[in-house]
Every structure is written in C-alpha cells, then in structure tokens.
Structure 1
C-alpha cells in the first residue's frame, strides 16, 4: 500500500490526501419538524379581530426563532399557542362578520 498502513477507524478520501476519523462524526438526531403555523396566522390577519391575530402572528414568529436557536420544546409550546390564538382569531372574525351582516340586512328599509 502506497499510503501506508491505515487504522481500521480511519478512512481516506478518494484522492488519498486527507484522513478523518469516524469517531469525529457523531450521529445526531434530526430536529423535530417545525410547527410554527405561520401560514395560518398570516391568513388569520385578514379576519377583523385585529389585536388577537397580531398576537398569533407574534407567537408564530417567536416559535420560529426558538426553533432556529435550538429550543425545540419552547418552539413547540409557542407554535401550539400560535395555533390556538389563530383559530380563536378566525372564529372571532367570522362572528364579527356574521353579526355585522345580520345587523346590516335586518335594519334595511324597503
């Protein structure tokens, strides 16, 4: 062998120019999937419940920031909060739209 005797735990590149140890590459679990519900919170911003849907958007952005900083539990908790607040915002917005339509069409004079 032209390169010399290789250790059983070391591998070489195809060109044989560099060695690296397998022990230096540690297996790491992939992070859990990101659940920030950003699309849902952006959709909820079109509902007329403005203070509530802005809070949902803030929770969603905080969830993404926590995920990218490595705080997966905090990200999951904030994402769940963003989901609940966004759904509440959509329900409140639909109720506001329904009530305003009912009031508008029942007070019309013919």
Structure 2
C-alpha cells in the first residue's frame, strides 16, 4: 500500500477533489498547513511589531491507496492541480500496515 500526499494552494483543491472523486477515491484526509515560500514575503503586524513571513497557507491531502493505483493517482492530482498559478507538491510513501478500527480489517481490505 502507498500513502499519496499532496500539498496544494487552497484554490486548487476543489478541482483536485472532483478529479479524485471521478477516479474513484473514497476517502481523503485534508489538513491545513503552512508552506515555506522563499520568493513570497508577507508583512504582518502582531502587537504593534512588523514581522516578515515566508509562509503561505496550503492544504495537505493524504490518500491511502493500493500500490498499483499510486502512479495513476499522482497523475490525476498533477493534471487537476496544474491549472492556475502557484505551485504544489505530491509525494508517495510506502505503508507497512493498515487496520480499520471498526471492522478490524487489515491490509488491502482496510483500504
């Protein structure tokens, strides 16, 4: 099994989610994260002091999939997320074991 993770700008996520649904993905974990963007500097004021911030709000999508679907899933995310401006990152991590808590299923049955 593989864990496909994508970090994308928030405005790209609706298109990616539609593409994932069309691909047949049943579950996605979405987390708000901050990504370091060296080219973009934002000035924020906190308690009267100015701070230069190189962090941009992003959304992280985690999708657990079978080994043979991982490459296709990366292609789907890349194609749907390539529209517009800004960047994103996708990576694949091997997963040793998965257990569905409610049904106690293990391995590919739990996906």
Greater percentage in helix: 1
Is the radius of gyration larger for structure 1 or structure 2? 1
The normalised TM-score by structure 1 is 0.24
